[in-house]
Amino acid sequence: MLTKKAKYGLKAMLYLSRLDFGQSAFVASIAAHNGTPKKFLDTILGELRTAGMLSSKKGRNGGYVLARRPEHITIGAILRVLDGPLAPIACASRSNYAPCADCQTIETCEIRIVMLNVREALAGILDHTTLAEVRDSTSDRMASFVYDI
């Protein structure tokens, strides 16, 4: 399940992806636009900055800015920074593997096999979907919706 932290982070990253590359925005502006709590968003953006996805500038023209072009930032990478591994259980994780205490053998555990498939399906979509693709697809849908009315 997507946490509020990840949802707010994705909304903020999409907001920044709609700006001209290199243009910054203040946390207050991002929070107001997305209806997110400013203090919580400040923490989230700090984590994304530490992970190298954002840069921050102080001063009058300061704020947060994407550190890479939206075409080079995947949704999967953002979610891993904010929520950790994509796998639903630790024994199906690639980056944070831990065996289950109640498993006799990981090779034949039916639950692990299913969860590996779930993890692969999630990663297959999220690691091949960029901020730019989401931004552009929602813009296209919104434009279509407006003209259909």
- Running DSSP on this structure, what letter comes out for residue 86? S
pTM for the whole structure: 0.85
Predicted confidence (pLDDT) per residue in 31-58, tens digit:
999 999 999 999 999 999 999 999 998 8
Q: Give dist(CA 13, CA 10) in Å, integer.
A: 5
CATH number of the structural domain spanning residue 68? 1.10.10.10
In-domain check, residue 103: no
How many domains does the structure of the chain reveal? 1
In-domain check, residue 108: no
In-domain check, residue 122: no
Predicted confidence (pLDDT) per residue in 2-27, tens digit:
999 999 999 999 999 999 999 999 99
In-domain check, residue 61: yes
Predicted confidence (pLDDT) per residue in 77-119, tens digit:
999 999 999 888 888 888 888 888 887 787 778 888 898 999 9
| pLDDT category of residue 140 using cuts at 50, 70 and 90 | low
Q: Which domain holds residue 57?
A: 1-73
Burial letters for 72-93: b for 16+ Cβ neighbours within 10 Å, e otherwise?
ebbbbbbbbbbeebbbebebbb
In-domain check, residue 130: no
